[in-house]
Amino acid sequence: MSETVAQPGSQPAARPVKDASTVMLVRDGAHGPEVFLQRRVGEMAFAAGMTVFPGGGVDPSDASVALALALSLIHILLCLLYFSFISLFSPYH
């Protein structure tokens, strides 16, 4: 296996910045704030199995503000529905 070792005073190669977005759903719970998180699928190439906020890379089609807002609203509504459904069966109540 090859390994790159940084030399003193050297700068890492610049990488292009990739646009991304995330959604944080927070609500007042009986015992303090509750935050909606997701667990990434174990087979994903990046951050498999990690607990994360919903979100991801920005697609070129997201350049339309109207489309981006509509997709954000859909994601928020889906998360709220899921969050409400799961809380009905939560062992932490």
Summarised one tens digit per residue, pLDDT across range 48-91 is 999 887 777 777 776 677 777 787 788 788 877 776 776 666 66
CA separation for the pair 65, 22 (Å, rounded) = 16
The answer to whether residues 79 and 25 touch, using CB atoms and an 8 Å cutoff, is yes
Question: What secondary structure letter does DSSP report for 46?
Answer: S
Summarised one tens digit per residue, pLDDT across range 9-30 is 777 778 888 887 777 778 888 8
Q: Which residue has the tokens 């799961």?
A: 86
Quote the pLDDT of residue 6: 58
Confidence check: pLDDT of 44 > 50: yes
